[in-house]
Amino acid sequence: MTRSPIRVAGQRASGTMNKQPSEILQFGQDASSLGGRLGAGAADVELARVVEFLGGLCREIDTSLEPTTPNPHLNMILHLMRGHIEGRMVSSSSMASASGVPYATAMRKLAEIQSAGLVEQRPRTKSGRTFSLHPSAHLLEEFGQIASRIGRLARASFDAADPEETEDYFYGGSYVSSQAVIAPPRALLSPLKLAGGLRILVHGDPTFMVMENLKRQFEQIVGTDIHQRAFSIDRLHQETLRNAERKRSAYDLIAVDLPWIGEFVTKGVIRPLTEVMDTDRLDPGDFHTAGWRATHWNGVPYGVPSQTTPELMFYRKDWFARDGITPPVTADEVIAAARHFHDPRAGRYGVAWNAARGTALGHTFMMTCAAFGQPIIDLPEIAGGYDAARLGRGPWRPRLDTDRALAAAEYLMELLDYSPPDILSMSWYERVRPYAAGKVAMAYGYTLLAPYFELDETCPAYDNTGYLPHPHGPAGAPIAPVGGYALCIPANLAPDRVKDAAEALIAFTSPGAQKLYVQNGSRTAPRYSVGADPEVRRLSPIFETVDQMSWRDELQFWPRPPIPQVSEIIKLCGLELHDMLRGLTRPRDALARIQARAETILEDTDHEGGNPWTPNA
């Protein structure tokens, strides 16, 4: 690789990195098309604001005017609506407490609103002796109409036209400017009826652990118990295949790593979404394009993005600014910056990355090849990269022994010189820990790993981290390879559970749910609307950065093409290249062996693709 000097601050790189927002379009969509998606959920926002407004107004009247009489009906209805909007459990006793009248009176008033058909009871135990309270469909419809009328009345009465003059006012200009705010997820109108509760198989990463921490809240939303099992990436793959061999699935939903989609479809492991739901209910246009397309096989969606987490380059903004160095855009600049910051005697290293033997290193090589302009199989070239949307048609030819692949392998060899001493055992989490601890200047990492330093004020990297797409090689372009998981419905799920599993899938991937994950520590946002939510953007620069990358067409899923054999090829690359990094074989020899073995793997497979899924009797 030709080594170039470090660019100093003030120099500009050419290409898409310097495009103005007006030039950054994706598939012909500009900012105006995004605005329509941001309006989705506005009714929920208005409902939440009206509930809060009426509650505050009642409190003002009850505490400011004497004499006054509480309105227990309204107080209890507002309490019930707040619980519904926030996904919190509401009981008879909490309703009585919120009424503002003595307990006995409150219970009579509660009976009255129940008789009016405004409240629905749901059993909390098998015995049915205890239950939670929820607004009925009739109450929700009526309250939606009230919300609309109150908004019009407030705007007409106060005539608040200037958002800057009405900053502290609830309705009017300040209200209209807040339409992008996503409301919390609401409880389902009808609770899920799944014997034994909802069973989910997931990956043990920070985002899914956030879902586990919110378990009680989501149980209130879906109306049933939730049982979640988490595995490492390789064990998750194994357990999913074992589950497919059972007569009936042990899980209602399964988290599927995006590169596994082709394998799981051709092996009949997962169902097409079109068989179980109207996919328009998901609002597909709201998902990042690359994340949504990665869930498809032969043009059919098989899952819903639960995480869209591109792998980026993390770098210490304070270190680069202090030394007057511009963050690296090219692979040569990564090497130069890593050399500059590398000082093992001071316990400081240039760069950390996935170099552990097997799956971890295999992923690194595939994504590095992409940054050097080389897909691992022969894909047709299109504007912005390569076309991985027609992989179901086959056949596929490996492209692992090319000049660009060799340049990528040699780049990894160069990185070794400026990496921590335990780099050959570093994988997903190990690469981020020394970065968070202030021992590494740069680290390749998925956005889902950012909580390790973004949420810990004691980390030197806290509030000092910048995010870049993968720096590229001479024949490549900036790219952010899309990772993450889709939630899928197993093909062998019992028929009587499929409908409710689909409802749970919609609930867990809704904008409100995704925003809740972010507010509780996740740094993945599969939807444009979530990344654009002002409350979300205040939590981390990642969301705006990823949205910008998506508009620049840098988010791509072709670096890890989801062909059925991709897991075998990933492991193959990770084993052979680990020997290369250890000095046991030369880069060119390692790539020749990988190419030959990959050809055999692909030749041994039926290349027709197809869709073998058939419903179980």
What pLDDT does 30 receive?
31
DSSP label at residue 388: -
Asked whether the predicted pLDDT for residue 74 surpasses 60, the reply is: yes
Question: What pLDDT digit, counting tens, does each position of 91-114 carry?
Answer: 888 888 888 888 889 899 999 998
Q: Is 54:76 a contact under the CB 8 Å cutoff? A: no
pLDDT band at 247 (very low <50, low <70, confident <90, very high): very high
- The dihedral through the CA atoms of 153, 159, 162, 168 has a sign that is negative
Dist CA 236 CA 260 (whole Å): 11
Q: Is 130:123 a contact under the CB 8 Å cutoff? A: yes
Taking alpha carbons only, the member of 138, 136, 46, 55 closest to residue 99 is 55
What count of Cα atoms within 13 Å lies in the side-chain half-sphere of residue 536? Answer: 31
Question: What pLDDT digit, counting tens, does each position of 577-587 carry?
Answer: 999 999 999 99
What pLDDT does 132 receive?
85
- Give 228's strand partners: 200
Q: Is 597:577 a contact under the CB 8 Å cutoff? A: no
Token couple for 519: 């507010």
What pLDDT does 445 receive?
95
What pLDDT does 83 receive?
83
Question: What pLDDT digit, counting tens, does each position of 413-443 carry?
Answer: 999 999 999 999 999 889 999 999 999 999 9
Question: What pLDDT digit, counting tens, does each position of 283-329 carry?
Answer: 999 999 899 999 999 999 999 999 889 999 999 999 999 999 999 99
For residue 122, give the H/E element and its range: strand 119-123
Q: Give the rounded percent of residues in the chain with a pLDDT score beyond 90.
A: 59
- Give 483's strand partners: 309
- The dihedral through the CA atoms of 194, 306, 483, 517 has a sign that is negative
Q: Is 160:172 a contact under the CB 8 Å cutoff? A: yes
Helix extents (H) in 417-541: 432-436, 451-454, 495-508, 511-519, 528-532, 534-537
For 556, phi and psi rounded to 5 degrees? Answer: -140, 150
- Say if residue 185 is preceded by a cis peptide, omega within 30 of 0: no
- The dihedral through the CA atoms of 562, 613, 253, 264 has a sign that is negative
Dist CA 524 CA 406 (whole Å): 32
Q: Is 118:90 a contact under the CB 8 Å cutoff? A: no
What pLDDT does 152 receive?
66
Candidate from 56-70, 263-277, 350-364, 546-560 with smallest mean pLDDT:
56-70
Helix extents (H) in 116-274: 137-158, 173-176, 206-213, 215-222, 233-244, 261-266
Q: What per-residue string of b and e applies to 14-33 under the rule 16 or more CB within 10 Å gives b?
A: eebeeeeeeebebeeeeeee
Taking alpha carbons only, the member of 370, 477, 364, 374 closest to residue 416 is 364
Question: What pLDDT digit, counting tens, does each position of 121-140 carry?
Answer: 887 766 667 788 888 888 88
What are the DSSP calls for 281-321, one per residue?
GG-GGGB-HHHHHTTEETTEE--EES--EEEEEEEEHHHHH
What count of Cα atoms within 13 Å lies in the side-chain half-sphere of residue 604? Answer: 8
Question: What pLDDT digit, counting tens, does each position of 449-493 carry?
Answer: 999 999 999 999 999 999 999 999 999 999 999 999 999 999 999
What pLDDT does 205 receive?
84
Question: What is residue 256's three-state secondary structure?
Answer: strand
Asked whether the predicted pLDDT for residue 613 surpasses 90, the reply is: no
Domains with residue ranges and CATH for the chain: 42-176 (1.10.10.10), 190-306+484-556 (3.40.190.10), 309-483+576-603 (3.40.190.10)
